[in-house]
Amino acid sequence: MNMLELCGIFKELKQHKKSSYAPYMVYTSNIRCFLYITIFKWQKIPMNEQSPTGEKHYECNQCGKAFKKISKFILHKRSHMGKKQYEWKECGKVFNDSSTLRRHVGTHTGEKPYECHQCGKAFSQKTSPKAHLRTHTGEKPYECSHCGKSFGTSSYLVVHKRIHTGEKLYKCSDCGKAFNTSSHLKVHKKIHTGEDLYECKDCGKVKWPLIPRMHVRTHTGEKPYESIPCGKAF
């Protein structure tokens, strides 16, 4: 039986590669493997290798769970470590499994193979068209337990709930101001960098990049939005 055991974690890829026992690289060159595995007789086993007899020869020495395939065994061992194993070099984000990483990679490559059959809009992730389809159907299955407001995606609900909890996870490293979404923080940071700021030609005031249209209406008096219950315009 091939007995494998976890023998350490290396934070730097160079140190990992220089190991005298030949590191076991789990995925492609775009991923940093934090896992170093000692294999009986120091042999390297392909990720898809299975026990010849079909028996579960790869047993976890921490919980006793056994596996037929070494790939399943390795992934299971990581669950005890509580570490995220897969890192995409372009942005530094790390993930628990390769499938999540592959979905994320699509956001960098620009590849969008999944298309909405109603409007033709394309997406990089397989689940995105399903969520997008709700913009056509009006379906909002995710309801806030605090106020009853409903949303088309679970991610919108998560962000909305921060209004009730006051949770602000995204903090500006320059001034310490915190925000409940990463997009709000991204816009805020442009105040410090001066990037893409808008200067009004009428009054000379400088505004955030998302504000110009709203600001111009203070000069034109335009109020395109009307409240249905009371008729007040905004």
One domain, residues 161 and 176: no
**Residue 48 counted as domain residue:** yes
Q: Work out the number of other CB atoms within 10 angstroms of the CB of residue 232.
A: 10
- The residue range of the domain holding 121 is 114-165
Among all chains, which residue has been given the structure tokens 């789990």? 26
**Residue of higher predicted confidence among 189 and 209:** 189
Of the chain, the end-to-end C-alpha distance in Å amounts to 74
Percent of the chain with pLDDT strictly greater than 90: 6
Tell me: pLDDT of 10 over 50: no
Strands (E), 60-200: 66-67, 86-87, 94-95, 114-115, 122-123, 142-143, 150-151, 170-171, 178-179, 198-199
One domain, residues 177 and 118: no
**Residue of higher predicted confidence among 185 and 50:** 185
Model pTM score: 0.41
**Residue 103 counted as domain residue:** no
d(CA 234, CA 226): 6
- pLDDT value at residue 195: 67
**Residue of higher predicted confidence among 21 and 97:** 97
**Residue 79 counted as domain residue:** yes
- pLDDT value at residue 199: 60
**Residue 227 counted as domain residue:** no
One domain, residues 75 and 10: yes
CATH number, domain of 133, equals 3.30.160.60
- pLDDT value at residue 162: 86
One domain, residues 161 and 174: no
- Residue pair 114/122 in contact by the 8 Å Cβ criterion: yes
One domain, residues 125 and 195: no
Tell me: pLDDT of 42 over 80: no
Number of structural domains (the chain) is 3
CATH number, domain of 213, equals 3.30.160
**Residue 233 counted as domain residue:** no
Domain-ending residue, one of 87, 102, 130: 87
Tell me: pLDDT of 194 over 60: yes
